[in-house]
Structure 1
Amino acid sequence: MHNSSRNAGAAHVSPRKDAIKFSILVGLSAIFVDAAIAHGLLWENDPYWTYWITKTFLITTVFLFGTAFLGIGIIPGLVLTAVHTLIFEIYYQWLAPVGLPRELDFNHLWITGVPVHFLAIFGGYLMALWLWRRNHPALEAERGETWRFVVYGLVTAVMIVANDGILTQLLLLQDFPGITFFVQHILIAFVFVCVWTAYAGAGPTGWTVGALMLALVWTTYAMYLGPRGLLFEEPYYSGYRDLWWLSFSGGFVSALIGW
């Protein structure tokens, strides 16, 4: 009787929120296995905080978007882990701002890096899947609603970043921040827009507060973790005026328009 009531209540949980919670669980589990096993036990190195946080956003993005189309399970996990590994190795070699990517050779990136990262991320996925199914034994996300939701999140994120590129970077700062900058901002914006929309809802108030919070997240990330200039220049960081007077205000307006 108790289990039936619990499962009946679970059936009314928004599939959007389920997809988000599962993807965040995968992101945290996978980055933990990557840190503990891949970089700790096998490679004995630390790629610094920019790597850890940006990669967590990348994992969450890939699995949130992919889970909406493929669902939750072993086979979807294998497919999405392979997709993530390919995207990550490309980012790792050409776009990553600090740490190991500029020190590793082809062998460490593509020969040993691919299988190690694949196994680490898939190990994290399996741990997340096990935890998820212990708490959602009979629940399967409604893909029809979920894939439309993540497509909305991706399109909105791209529009916001495009607005920011024109308004903030081109007009206010008059500087091209680099390809890595835009990749990082899209990853952050996609996860943020999906989470915020699922929990805060739509409407003028939700959009306004969400735009303000996204601008704050972007500015904080840029202050501590997000250098400018890459891929074609040496990385450099914005100063106080550029961050808080120009980037923050420009990001807020860009998000408000794009949302």
Structure 2
Amino acid sequence: MTTAEPESKSDALSILSFDEDDNYVMEIIAESVAKIVPSVFPETIQLNGKKSSQFEESHKLNRKSKDQDESKDKSIEPEEQAYNNKDAKEIGATSKDLDATVSIFPVHEMDDDVFEQILDLVDLNLGSYYQKRLGKNWKDEKRDEMEESGLVYVIYTDALTKNIVAFTSVKLVAELAAKVLYLYEIQISSQYQSIGVGSKLISSFHKLATKLNDLVGDAKYKYSTHFSNEGTSLTVFSDNDRALNWYFNLGYTFTDDSPRDKLLRNEKVVKPSFYLLTRPLEQK
């Protein structure tokens, strides 16, 4: 492994300091991280046992076509009739025959329509949590957060419907205690939950943190001196018990500066809005 050389005086300063407010540097770091993502995130994820809504609609049309009388069938063009008479196996009866395929974007390279789709998924999954804390205009603040320089998005789409199955967004961040790879989002569309998609994404996220640490100073990646990190961190709503328990089971613990529950004199427990969790790098 060789060490990257600074291309200019400003590059030299950037290599020495990690400044999240330097949008130029954070964008280049994100581009470098995006190039590494395919080495740890799967290119495709099999959607075992989940029916595709598009398939179901196609199957209904197929059955309707088969129920038509013979004379009407003869009026259909041969190619159309052949399509209507396809067996379910040829179309893909369940998503176990399908894959979710990956797309990787530094946030500054993401198309607006894709961004709106992932924001909609956040709304579907966590909109009630955000509205409870930030009010009905919570999306304005969330949009700003999701557009922060340095973020890298890993998005999986259903190969048949082209709908978003899941996505995650990550960013190298300097926390009070240490620099970490921060998990900004991990969102799974409801029809694809509980089939292992989330487990694959979080496992790949942990591997990415380790991979980045291994590539510190690699000349193939600009500003790779900033890849160093002590592990992974994230924020979770305190009343999102399902997510909280999942993270604890994965080895996450409270950060030193995380808000914590307060026990009042009347023994009532008051929870903060959110917790900050962290996890050390995986041991090889």
Compute the TM-score of the two structures, normalised by the length of structure 2.
0.24
Q: Which has the higher helix share?
A: 1
Compute the TM-score of the two structures, normalised by the length of structure 1.
0.26
Higher alpha-carbon Rg: 2
User: Which structure has the higher relative contact order (CA within 8 Å, separation 6+)?
Assistant: 1
Q: Which has the higher strand share?
A: 2
